[in-house]
Amino acid sequence: MQKNLADYRKSYEKSALMEDAIPTNPMALFQTWFDELEASKGVEEPNAMTVSTIGLDGFPKSRVVLLKKFSAHGFVFYSNYESEKGMSIAKNPHSCISFFWPNLERQVIIKGQSEKLPAQESDDYFNSRPKGSRLGALVSDQSSVIPSRVYLENKLKKLEEEYKDKEIERPNHWGGYLVKPESIEFWQGRQNRLHDRIRYTLVENSNWKRERLAP
């Protein structure tokens, strides 16, 4: 089977990314871009991002998760610590997260170190989730091989009965990660594939070096 996609073409013309119009701190620019994305209402899940890690088998692997918080400290998402991604991070915390916002012709690529959040912060988020999502964290031995969908659904039914009248506590194997950025690249599509790429790199004293990259 073969399909030629050579004629899939688009001219990017919606915006520009110029040094004299952006802040010295990349998190301020990320906030602006995220606010503009929300205002555009052009993406169903604006907080969807791709997380890439180096697996125990030496291969990189990427998957889409949901960003749950960002601040000057970095970017937060939640997962099963015993999942494939969790074990990858435990061995090698070097991670990359990226956002693709096609309606604004933008990408953001962040490289940094992933570390577990404090238990209390993970507890607070877990307790804010709907009951079904909390049970889901107990049901799924994420990334492990299971015999069937029925196995998963039967396990959920048993837990629904078990926790019908009692509180669901966060399991120790589930919680949050903070990706502390060391490099943040902002990509703005431009005409003739001469895209704008501005990379911020963290240097000493929490300052950021800003550079333009060739498209």
- So which residues are the catalytic ones? 193
The residue written with tokens 């001219």 in the block is 11
CA distance readout (Å), 173 to 123, 125, 140, 176: 12, 14, 11, 10
Between CA 153 and CA 168 the distance in angstroms is 18
Q: Are 85 and 95 in contact (CB under 8 A)?
A: no
Q: Could you tell me the two tokens for 162?
A: 């078990």
Contact at 8 Å (CB) between 79 and 86?
Answer: yes
The residue among 60, 85, 49 whose CA lies nearest residue 181 is 49
Q: Residues near 93 by Cβ (< 8 Å), separated by ≥ 6?
A: 113, 114, 115
